[in-house]
Structure 1
């Protein structure tokens, strides 16, 4: 049973994300302002994480140099505040299914940004390097298919058919814009993923790093929300789906999922976690069809297939390259050991 734990936990993580897309979309459909939603989400995450960080790290939690603090502030600004707000706007214009599908472009975008920033190397003459480039192109092709082609309906839940028609009509006018906004949010999130590795070298505690970014993002999100929403009536939270979505994203997604993902990466590595990313899309498609009446179209199926295939091609290339690097290091160690024995 212990051998099954990583599989069960990674499935749970993707299920949590699948529900997150659905709850966020429902809250936005019921009139909740997307900028206010991000603010409350980050406030709850801060309330949960900061006390935990102080309890476990004590006085070290307050020891941050001005230079590192500035880097954290900038990372929070574009990587969390910017990305989440763009995601909220894009989700309002599209669907929870597209939001889940766009998440599959993150590994490809992260790799592409790593190449542009010279943090990743692409060997075009190698099979792994070619695979990563092909995977990126296929991922982008899947996103474009989602944006520009819907096609005939393949499946829909008749009980919510009127709601589905309403959402479809709304999406036809804004779908392309929403897709572009979602991709911009993913670019910011990928850039945050690439750059935070450098900051973690100066501030290695992941718990404190996450708590501090949530705190800074809550402050930034407040000013963003104030700038876009001058009326304070949308700020009122009632006992409805808006409060449920905010609490779920702030507590379950930011706090619990962070720990679970860290545990999976430590046990099985980041590639293992990334390989299960499409599962959140599958879960969201099923939930959205039955609960929101979102129809499954030919375009969404083709786009999802391309996104998932592109993701696995990129992961295969990175895994192949990592394996080759390990073999090369082992050979170097063998040569050094044999040389040392000859000297002795």
Structure 2
């Protein structure tokens, strides 16, 4: 009996990262719709980004301060300027473009495009020589093929809308204020979404480099939230001339800000950091398409949003290419771990080399 109980505990422990990442994608799925409802209600995306990261910084500060009290290195001026650039790429520039794109497209398209970040990151990393590409290895070929397939899917989603899929029934939940002009600015929304994905990819690459000099993930995230909120506030003052845009009441604007700051920028980031430590970044990225599927299901069946054939075809192609790329990247991780084990083994006992 005790052995059976121990076996169940072991299985639950093994599945814990998987279940947590599923919850993460569910959290991201709701983010698309609550922010869309808030923007349709009249909230400025730029004000939202500013308030969201103020909330995130306030929520994460005590955790970063107490949990990483002994892990934080001294913050030099050079390191602060690096965090300043990181905040531009990861918060103020990227998220302002990203959320603004929701005004011109729809959540299904935006969620599908996020899956291209892995491919874009790979291309930029190879160009900057952060990534080694071995075309003599099947996994290296898979990375190239996966990248090409994913980008082909992006082009299909961007350039081809196709016919609208007919709704089978009336929407169960109605999001008020949806503008009919959204279709007229589809190209503008596509450009904003793609641009945000590119800057997001640059952020991931630069973040990995910064963490080597500032190995305190919670503290780094808190700093980026503070600095990014300040940058976004300065940008908003320039582009948002209506002072009443800064006022939010007890409505969907407030709830979307709290949800984005506490759940997404706080709890979800912590879960992702934990899963990355336990399973690695490849494991975390594998779950991204789940959000795309959930958004498409909710948008079409629950909220009654328009779903275009081009988005369906493009999303399927992007996901296929993504898993080709991830299969190749997983091989890189296996080789890295074997090399690391050999290095540690040879350091301790030269006779244990394989």
Pairwise CA distance, 1:143:
1.4
Q: How does 1:159-174 map to 2 (within 5 A)?
A: 159-160=170-171, 169-174=180-185
8 Å Cα contact 1:157/1:293 also seen in 2: no
Matches of 1:167 and 1:143, distance apart in 2 = 25
C-alpha distance in 2 between matches for 1:341 and 1:305: 46
Residue 298 of structure 2 is aligned to residue 256 of structure 1: no
Number of residue pairs the alignment of both structures matches: 340
* Comparing 276-285 and 150-159, the one that deviates more: 150-159
Displacement of 1:120 in angstroms is: 0.5
Q: Mark the runs of 5 or more structure 2 residues left unpaired by the alignment.
A: 1-11
Distance 1:26 1:323, change over 3 A: same
User: Would the alpha carbon gap of residues 213 and 221 (structure 1) be closer, same or farther in structure 2, given more than 3 Å must change?
Assistant: same
* Structure 1 position 261, deviation (Å): 0.9
Given candidates 60, 64, 76, the residue that maps to 1:53 is 64
Question: 1:221-265 deviations in whole A, cap 9, x for unaligned?
Answer: 101111111111111111111111111110000110011111212
**Hey, what does 1:311 align to over in structure 2?**
322
User: Per-residue CA shift, 1:102-128, capped at 9, x if unaligned?
Assistant: 110111111111111111111223222
Aligned match of 2:232: 221
1:6 aligns with 2:52: no
Cα deviation code 1:140-166 (max 9, x no counterpart): 1111111122222335264249x89x9
The residue aligned with 2:258 is 247
- Aligned-residue offset at 1:87: 0.3
* Partner residue in 2 for 1:292: 303
Cα separation, 2, equivalents of 1:119 and 1:153? 42
Within 5 Å, which residues of 2 pair with 1:59-78?
63-78=74-89
Alignment of 1:30-109 (within 5 A): 30-58=41-69, 63-109=74-120
CA distance in 1, matches of 2:230, 2:338: 47
Tell me how far apart the structure 1 counterparts of residues 250 and 234 of structure 2 sit (CA, whole Å). Answer: 25
8 Å contact from structure 2 (residues 104, 183) kept in 1: no
Q: Rate the CA distance shift 1:334–1:200 in 2: closer, same or farther, 3 A.
A: closer
Does 13-22 or 60-69 show the bigger shift? 60-69
Cα 1:265/1:56, change in 2 over 3 Å: closer
What is the TM-score normalised by the length of structure 1?
A: 0.90
Cα pair 2:72 2:216 within 8 Å, conserved: no
Task: Give the alignment partner of residue 188 of structure 2, picking from 177, 181, 185.
Answer: 177
Q: 1:283 to 1:341 in 2, by over 3 A?
A: closer
Name the structure with the higher helix share. 1
Partner residue, 1:279: 290
1:143 is aligned to 2:178 = no
- Root mean square deviation, CA, Å: 2.7
For residues 245 and 121 of structure 2, the distance between their equivalents in structure 1, rounded to whole angstroms, comes to 35
